[in-house]
Amino acid sequence: MALFTYHKPKSQLPYALYLPEGKPPKGGWPLILFLHGSGERGSDGRKQSTVGIGPAIQENLQRWPAVVLMPQCPKGQQWAGEPLAQAYELLNQVEQQHKTNPRRVYLTGLSMGGYGSWNLGCLYPRRFAAIAPICGAADPFMVWQRLGKVPIWNFHGAADEVVPVSFSRALADALAKAGNVRARFTEYPTEKHDVWNRVYRELEFIQWLFAQQKRGGS
């Protein structure tokens, strides 16, 4: 039996979906939106499940008791504008179809998807119970203005050769200036760009993510 299901709907982004087995907890399963990096762009609906959160789920299902949505960005595009809007539309659709917990919706992404996580979080700061960008970047002023109250755990490798770690340091400073006491930043001294391989296997991070829950409202 396949772990993920793959979908290629007309006029929407292709996506992979993970549905946990068993009875959902009271309130419904948590829901995770995962935004992939530039190397997984395409139209097959599958490649984005092979890097980042997908392999981590495959290695240890018990650690990921959540519905996980993995949309695929088209080639030549970014997680901004129309692709990002379509990813958000899919999130709302999956939430309705699978009756997930609206107070436990999480956003994460790596590299280009790290940028996308910051972008989408800034657009809908009250939508997500927590945001976990990995080796991404954003406008520090926008982050300061929009994400001052959202639980965030940002990750970056100090030896990143693709996206400079200084970008994440600036965002950590912006969140501190915004008074966000629920924001965390982990900088791994020896990790390079593919720091996501470590992050999605860190039990402390996974436990933190699922512990976040909105108090109410949307």
Could you read off the pLDDT of 51-104 as tens digits, one per residue? Answer: 999 999 999 999 999 999 999 999 999 999 999 999 999 999 999 999 899 999
* Amino acid 9: pLDDT: 86
DSSP, residue by residue, 42-79 = SSSS-GGGSSTHHHHHHH-GGG--SEEEEE-PPTT--S
- C-alpha 185/C-alpha 79 separation (Å) is 22
Mean pLDDT of 180-192: 98
Nearest alpha carbon to residue 186 among 200, 113, 64: 200
- C-alpha 34/C-alpha 108 separation (Å) is 5
Helix (H) or strand (E) holding 211: helix 203-211
pLDDT digits (tens, 9 = 90+) for 167-178: 999 999 999 999
Range list of β-strands (E), the chain: 4-7, 15-18, 31-35, 67-71, 105-110, 130-134, 152-157, 183-188
CATH class, range 28-211:
alpha beta
What is the b/e burial string over 135-146, where b = at least 16 CB atoms within 10 angstroms of the residue's CB? bbbbebebbbeb
pLDDT digits (tens, 9 = 90+) for 100-146: 999 999 999 999 999 999 999 999 999 999 999 999 999 999 999 99
Decide if pLDDT at 217 tops 90. Answer: no
**Residues forming beta bridges with residue 5, ordered by sequence position:** 17
- C-alpha 25/C-alpha 27 separation (Å) is 6
Q: What pTM did the predictor assign?
A: 0.96
* Amino acid 2: pLDDT: 58
* Interhelix angle 81-98/112-123, nearest 10 degrees: 70
> Max CA-CA distance within the chain?
49
* Amino acid 215: pLDDT: 79
Residue 216, Cβ neighbours under 10 Å: how many? Answer: 7
What are the boundaries of each domain within the chain?
28-211
Decide if pLDDT at 218 tops 60. Answer: no
